[in-house]
Amino acid sequence: MTITYKSRVEVPEKEKWNFEDLYKNLEDWENDYLWIEKKTAELKKFDGAIHNGESLYDYLSEKEEVSSKLNLVYVYGMLQADVDTRDALAQSLVDRAKQLSVKISAASSFFMPFLLSLEESTLREYIEQEPRLKYFEQDLFEAFRYKAHVLTKEKEEILSNLGEALSAPSHTYSMLNNADIKFGEVTNDEGMKVELTRGMYSKLIEDEDRDKRREAYKAYYQPYLQLKNSIASTLSANVKTNTTLARLRNYPTALEKGLFGDMVPKEVYENLITATKANIGPLHQYGSIRKKLLGLEELRQYDLNVPLVPGVKLEISYEEAYETILKALAPLGEDYVNTLKTFKDARYIDVRETPGKRSGAYNLGVYGVHPFVLLNQHDDLDSMFTMIHEFGHAMHSWYSSKHQPRISAGYSIFVAEVASTVNEVLLIHYLLERETNQEIRKYLLNHFIDQFRGTFFTQVMFAEFEKITHEYAESGKPLNANVFSEIYESLFRQYNGDEVVFDEEVKYGWSRIPHFYRPFYVYKYATGFASAIHIAEQLLSRDESAVNAYIEFLKSGSSDYPLELLKKTGVDLSKPEPIDNALKRFEQLISEFAAL
């Protein structure tokens, strides 16, 4: 039975974050805030005053100290705002931290133009003069890659000062989607009308009663249809901001700007879409299987998430899920498992859904502190998969923070999704290997197929949506609710096939995807999933060298470019094999399921 709480006060302390791990009290936070403010003003003294290795080191070390403290100040407010988006004090802390971030950007905006004005030989001289600069060497030379994309000192300062304004579309959507949105009503088990919540929706959309699914679907999309023009305005502004910045910074396209940091060729992105659409047949076949097994004359969007094996309701408590996860991750070795075991009692995890809490789940690794994992636990199979996914991120943060200096401890989102998805694949293997009940085995296989569809195919569809919408903006075509809907509907039909009969709501799917406010991000779920399939199979073969290579990968942070880090695990995404192999694996799963 899923535990529900009417307020955060009711949740046991052991299932809530301990904010004192960041700051003992608000006074300590305020002291750090004032210190950052003072030090930020002092950063300006370096403008025009860096003439040798020592002064360059002094600037870089002071800037790093300010940035690391800002991270703590920002995270403290953000985490509290996320557990209750209605908390005005927490929101004010976030707003103040954002304003401080803008000030830091403005105070340090001189540096990149200065650095790129140097000859490479001069920079090497500085590093020889001041051995402590070795710590910053990789980042300094990485900056030279951006030479063609950095503006004059004056223009960089203007863009820095506009930082808060440029992030307004994303912030506005976040407030709409998390704090202000009111879903329609659904009928509860007692026959009473109650307001739908996201947590309820994730349950009801999988309910075997089709009327309940339809009712929940209509109630869930109701506010998105009502707000479609407002949301289209925020999304359009976000896309146009991104394309404008790409143009100002001399990138050929917004897509190439999005891939530049990870040094991923645009061909990797385009090949992902091309290969997926060329092998879309098994996904369409799955639609036909779903329609047949559900005994439907028409398959609709609200039929795409209900498990195809009726009568299997797996209720898994938080404690039981945690124990199962630890066993499933045994192939990763004792150190991995024993470390993860400590996270629960140390209160690194905020577990329960409560009113006002941010939806979904995430991990936030804080260097020098620990990972913070947000969940909205519902004591079911999906919740267990969400947990193990976020624990993959958390352990990646843990290992990188322990084995990398601050400057390279953070890791690219590109490789982040590998760590989380490897965990999910290990869990499904563990469950299928031990389950003897045929109905539950079919249920789990169905779950894996749906996970594959959501983490791979849906994300590729989203990636293509982003590519098209940015191309529209770049060519001066209008972007509004109708245009977004036309693009989304067309793609949904291509990916899901002719079996799905469209309700009016389908084409407004774009309006409920927060990831679209982080352009060219979602494709990494798909590349991460394909990479994880390969890595997990190596780990399950109990190949000791594969385990060591993977743990080394987790320890690597951002010490190399993502594609190079992945090559150490045996995955080369510059070639088609990882994507092709993942698509073949999906085809096998469909065949296995069809046979059952």
Catalytic positions are 390
For 150, phi then psi, to 5°, come to -105, 135
Q: 3-class DSSP state for residue 150?
A: coil
**DSSP annotation of 502:** P
Those residues whose C-beta lies under 8 Å from the C-beta of residue 321, and which sit 6 or more positions away, are 379, 383, 384, 387
Q: Residue 29 belongs to what H/E stretch?
A: helix 26-43
Structure tokens at 554: 């987790």
Residue with tokens 């245009």: 483
Report the alpha-carbon distance of residue 52 to residue 48 in Å, rounded.
12
Q: How far out from the chain centre does Cα 100 lie?
A: 25
Which residues does 414 contact at the CB level (< 8 Å), separation at least 6? 262, 264, 524, 527, 528, 562
Dihedral sign of CA atoms 327, 370, 519, 558 in order:
negative
Q: What are 521's two structure tokens?
A: 């991000």
d(C-alpha 465, C-alpha 491), whole Å: 7
Per DSSP, 114 falls in state H
Tokens of 365: 């690794």
d(CA 590, CA 596): 10
Q: How far is Cα 96 from Cα 99, in angstroms, rounded to an integer? A: 5
DSSP for 39-70?
HHHHHGGGTT---SHHHHHHHHHHHHHHHHHH
DSSP state of 180: I
List the beta bridge partners of residue 230.
none
Phi and psi torsions of 182, nearest 5°: -125, 115
Distance of CA 523 to the CA centre of its chain: 11
Task: Give the number of other Cβ atoms within 10 Å of residue 566's Cβ.
Answer: 24
Beta pairing partners, 194: 186
27 burial level (CB within 10 Å; 0-12, 13-18, 19+): exposed
CB 358 within 8 A of CB 374: yes
For residues 350 and 16, the answer to whether their CB atoms sit within 8 Å is yes
Alpha helices (H) along 435-480 = 438-452, 458-474
Question: Biggest alpha carbon distance in the chain?
Answer: 77
Residue 591 has which token pair?
């065949």
129: Cβ contacts below 8 Å, ≥ 6 apart: 52, 53, 54
d(CA 340, CA 334): 10
Distance CA 510, CA 489 (A): 9
